[in-house]
Amino acid sequence: MVEQTEITEDEAALYDRQIRLWGLDAQRRLRAARVLLIGVRGLGAEVAKNIVLAGVKSLTLLDHTNVTEEDACSNFLVARTDVGKNRAECSRDRTQLLNPMVDVTADPQDVDNKPDDFYKNFDVICALCCKPTQLYKINTICSENKIKFYCGDVMGYYGYMFSDLGFHEYAEEVQRKVTASTSSQGDGEPATKKAKTDEMETVTVKNSAQFTRFKDAMTVDWKSSDNVKKVKRTPSAYFIMKVLLQFMENEGRRPAVSSVSEDKKLLSTLKSEVLEQIGVNSDLIDDEFTSKCFAELSPVCAIVGGVLGQEIIKAVSHKDAPHNNFFFYNGVEGSGLVDKIGS
């Protein structure tokens, strides 16, 4: 659990606008939060920007990969002259410039080489561009140590985010109806004869939510009688992301612009295999998606990264109801949907 910390005068001046929005206590919790961001591609740049501007205590950028030509399309934290250099190290300086009061560090090591104890140094972990097995492992560590876990990715027109906050308590403002009398006091009228009017007032209430792990949400038994009825109501982006994540697991990489023809065939075959395996009709998604999931499109990164950053802020500050548990964006349809999947 993030402990509150004192806000300096300089910080109070810098964060004045958001303190007015969500309160001093919420800003104190943010100021104490230590965040680990795994994967600093286009989506990672958007998330880094949003949480650094909000005023967390520290942000560690972890990425062992190098900047590519594709990064110029979506990653505003690196320069074209950085191609071939480590992505985390190249992103650190521009991230730091966004807010000098946040401690920003770069870690160029491979996430697979990190010991379990490494993750215990953080209050929030956001894992992007990772394979499912990596996400399952990190999520388990977070769950066992009460660390807030997020993951997400953007491939072409499609993007998603997932959150597991365990048992999470939060404050929420709700509208409550209040009945008031229109008669003034001391007018001699009996209470039963006084006209009543309904007015609304805003009150803050305490709520809670229980989350599920990423593995449970990705290994749903869609053949069960209960879930068969839910298939048509489930965003198609969920099943598209399952195919894309399985591609990453099998190939050890993302669909690449340099091998479009080959990867489109692999994705088409994989779609049939994945959907058949989970008991979903292969017609649920057509093969058109295979031509729309290459590179990271900056508008999609901005949308998914904006939602992800806002969700991290909400969770750390304990303000407002969090998304439980998925947010999907389908750029082909221009739709963004929140859905809870898994028990």
pTM of the model: 0.89
Handedness of CA 59, 63, 66, 71 (dihedral sign): negative
The answer as to whether 273 is a domain residue is: yes
State mean pLDDT over 204-219.
Answer: 94
Contacts of 81 (CB under 8 A, 6+ apart): none
Q: How far apart are CA 14 and CA 53, in angstroms?
A: 10
More confident residue, 342 or 137: 137
Residues 155 and 135 in one domain: yes
Residues 229 and 320 in one domain: no
Residues 109 and 19 in one domain: yes
Contacts of 162 (CB under 8 A, 6+ apart): 150, 151, 152, 214, 217, 325, 326
Residue corresponding to tokens 């994540």 = 245
Give tens-digit pLDDT for 47-96: 999 999 999 999 999 999 999 998 888 999 999 999 999 999 999 999 99
The answer as to whether 52 is a domain residue is: yes
Residues 153 and 301 in one domain: yes
Confidence band for 131, pLDDT divided at 50, 70 and 90: very high
More confident residue, 328 or 188: 328
Tokens linked to 100: 């000098």
Domain count, the chain: 3
- 138-172 burial: b if 16+ Cβ within 10 Å, else e: bbbbbbeeebbbbbbbbbbbbbbbbbbbbebebbe
Residues 187 and 306 in one domain: no
**Burial of residue 213 (number of CB atoms within 10 Å: 0-12, 13-18, 19+):** buried
Residues 222 and 140 in one domain: no
Residues 42 and 158 in one domain: yes
Q: Which domain holds residue 194?
A: 168-207
- Give the per-residue pLDDT at 283: 86
- On whether the CB atoms of residues 222 and 274 are closer than 8 A, the answer is no
Give tens-digit pLDDT for 39-53: 999 999 999 999 999
The answer as to whether 4 is a domain residue is: no
Residues 188 and 146 in one domain: no
Residues 220 and 331 in one domain: no
- Give the per-residue pLDDT at 227: 85
- On whether the CB atoms of residues 33 and 59 are closer than 8 A, the answer is no
Residues 149 and 25 in one domain: yes
